[in-house]
């Protein structure tokens, strides 16, 4: 599988079908992704292993290469930062930074244009941010990172990510919608 093959697959209606069937080729293209295959998250927020979760998120985002590449790489760093607490619950602190680094290395190797590389890496880095927990200064700084179209892409990933987690947390979708509306009002 080449990078161009990957882009074609990501542009299909349900990329996970082909990516799962051809995962050994996918792992040759993105070796770090192999670590996610069968990696149990040991966390009540998650019902899938890391690879299965990523595949659900890829299918759930809008069909454009920015969203699909963001989804493919958003949690790729999780196996590299995994820790367990005293109750054996899994945590993935700072996985967004590792995921971003892995993506940047991949983008450079495959000569992805700078504009797309920066946007996708930014979406990966902020995908897990608890926006409602930000203080006013951090919230304003966060808003400066994105224009309105980019913010929509970020929330596309955030929503798909949530839908690929334990259904008991899907009630947060309404909160995500409200937060996005509030944020988009800042751009008007």
Listed by start position, the domains of the chain span 3-185
Which position has the token pair 């958003």? Answer: 74
Confidence of residue 149 (pLDDT cuts 50, 70, 90): very high
Q: For residues 25 and 9, what is the distance between their CA atoms, to the nearest angstrom?
A: 12
Residue 135 tokens, joined = 């203080």
pLDDT at 188: 63
Architecture of domain 3-185: Orthogonal Bundle (1.10)
Element (DSSP H or E) covering residue 96: helix 95-109
Confidence of residue 187 (pLDDT cuts 50, 70, 90): confident
- pTM value? 0.96
Q: At what angle do helices 114-126 and 148-163 cross, to 10 degrees?
A: 50
**72-106: pLDDT as tens digits:** 999 999 999 999 999 999 999 999 999 999 999 99
Residue 76 tokens, joined = 């790729």
Q: At what angle do helices 65-73 and 50-60 cross, to 10 degrees?
A: 170
Q: How far is CA 45 from CA 76, 92, 95, 145, in A?
A: 17, 12, 15, 28
């Amino acid at each position: 599988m080449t990078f161009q093959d990957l882009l074609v697959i990501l542009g299909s209606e349900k990329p996970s079908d082909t990516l799962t069937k051809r995962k050994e080729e996918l792992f040759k293209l993105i070796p770090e992704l192999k670590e996610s295959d069968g990696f149990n998250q040991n966390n009540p927020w998650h019902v899938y292993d890391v690879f299965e979760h990523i595949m659900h998120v890829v299918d759930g985002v809008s069909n454009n290469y920015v969203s699909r590449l963001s989804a493919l790489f958003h949690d790729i760093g999780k196996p590299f930062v995994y820790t367990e607490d005293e109750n054996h619950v899994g945590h993935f602190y700072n996985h967004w930074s590792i995921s971003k680094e892995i993506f940047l290395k991949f983008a450079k190797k495959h000569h992805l244009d700078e504009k797309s590389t920066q946007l996708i890496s930014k979406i990966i880095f902020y995908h897990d941010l608890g926006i409602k927990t930000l203080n006013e200064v951090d919230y304003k700084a966060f808003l400066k990172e994105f224009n309105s179209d980019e913010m929509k892409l970020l929330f596309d990933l955030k929503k798909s990510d949530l839908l690929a987690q334990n259904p008991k947390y899907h009630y947060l979708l309404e909160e995500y919608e409200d937060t996005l509306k509030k944020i988009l009002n800042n751009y008007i």
